[in-house]
A = this chain, B = another copy of it.
Amino acid sequence: MGTVDQWVSAPARIADPDEGISVDELRLAARNHGMPLEALRYDVTPPGLHYLLTHYDIPALDPADWRLTVSGAVTRPLSLSLADLRIRPRVTRRVTLECAGNGRARLLPRPVSQPWLDEAVGTAEWTGTPLAAVLAEAGVAATAVDVAFTGADHGIERGVEQDYRRGLTLAEAMRDDVLLVDEMNGAPLLPQHGAPVRLIVPGWYGMAQVKWLVGIEVLETEFDGYQNVTSYRVKQEPDEPGEPVTRIMPKALIQPPGVPDFQSRVRVVDHGPVVLTGRAWSGWAPVDAVEISIDDGAGWRPAELGPQPAPYAWRSWRCRWDAVPGRYELRARARDAAGNEQPVGPAWNRQGMANNHAQRVTVVVR
């Protein structure tokens, strides 16, 4: 990149404590939209309302020309067309996806990147074919360690030019619920969701769900690409290696009750009985408890849980509230069956990753 660097790609940084959102961050927010929170009403998120994070540009891939190569430490390298994939056994799984950076713009000080508030989430019915059988057909070497997945999206990030590429351990890649997906909610994948084919790794944050998939490489050493080793790490200092971001931490979201103000999005609710509703999910285990606070976390009451529709899909909850006039800060928190509890306040890390502090919904009861 040479001297091009300084004009193009700045190092990661933390905003000053009183620094507003920059135009660079806003430009990302205008492209990479969240799910409007009233869409928590849908069991399955309609097209266009699911959150979206594209690292570079949405590529223009022609499904007729598209090929998926399976290479590296395999006995029989493969090159598959879309038709080759579609004649394989097909499975549909309902899976909730969340961006690992969700909640980042709530942190103080704020890591400068895609500035998510609470809404980088969505649930879809994903249809495709199990990855494990494709890897088995290629014949994975006994010495294999990791599998690297390459997308067709290409760009520069913190000075490093790259195709978007992520690695998984072989054990994770061989899970029977990991899919090569070409349909979302019963229709061919939309361009922005990875058409023609993407990876779905249920339970993991969005960075593992590689879109516009064109290459699968079986590796005999640990994958050391940018998106695993530099990005998507939980760390406090710029030079420490940090911990990798993996599965989705438990979270509950409240569907904002009543009606909104246009600018502040504060909610106005008529006094009387209100049924608060929302969704909760975790990538570690099913959610087994949701609690609601109407006083910004001072007191908590249990919510009633709806059925768990699939192992890694969000679960509905509801909670009655006898609303009395005044101003309230509603919070929700989830706990999963693996014992992970959602914290009320944020745990800061310098990339703003895997943050599951409790959403706050301001409500005025009249």
Q: Which residue numbers of A lie inside 8 Å of B, CB to CB? A: 1-2, 4, 7-10, 19-34, 36-39, 41, 46-50, 52, 54-58, 60, 105, 112-113, 115-117, 119, 154-158, 161, 190-193, 256, 259-266, 268, 327, 362, 364, 366
Contact = CB atoms under 8 A, between A and B. Distances in A.
Given A260-B56, A265-B24, A116 B30 contact: yes
A352 to B, nearest CB: 13
Nearest to A21: B21
Contacts of A48: 47-50, 52, 190, 192-193
B36 A60 contact: no
A24 B268 contact: no
B30 A366 contact: no
A123 to B, nearest CB: 15
B39 A58 contact: yes
B259 A27 contact: no
A7 to B, nearest CB: 5
Contacts of A116: 30
B24 A21 contact: no
A261 B157 contact: yes
A37 B54 CA distance: 12
A254 B21 CA distance: 25
Contacts of A112: 263
Contact of A366 (B1, B9, B31, B366): B1
Contacts of A8: 261, 264, 266, 268, 364
Contacts of A259: 56-57, 154-156, 161
Nearest to A29: B29
Contact of A268 (B52, B156, B260, B265): B156
A296 to B, nearest CB: 14
Nearest to A256: B57
A134 B241 CA distance: 66
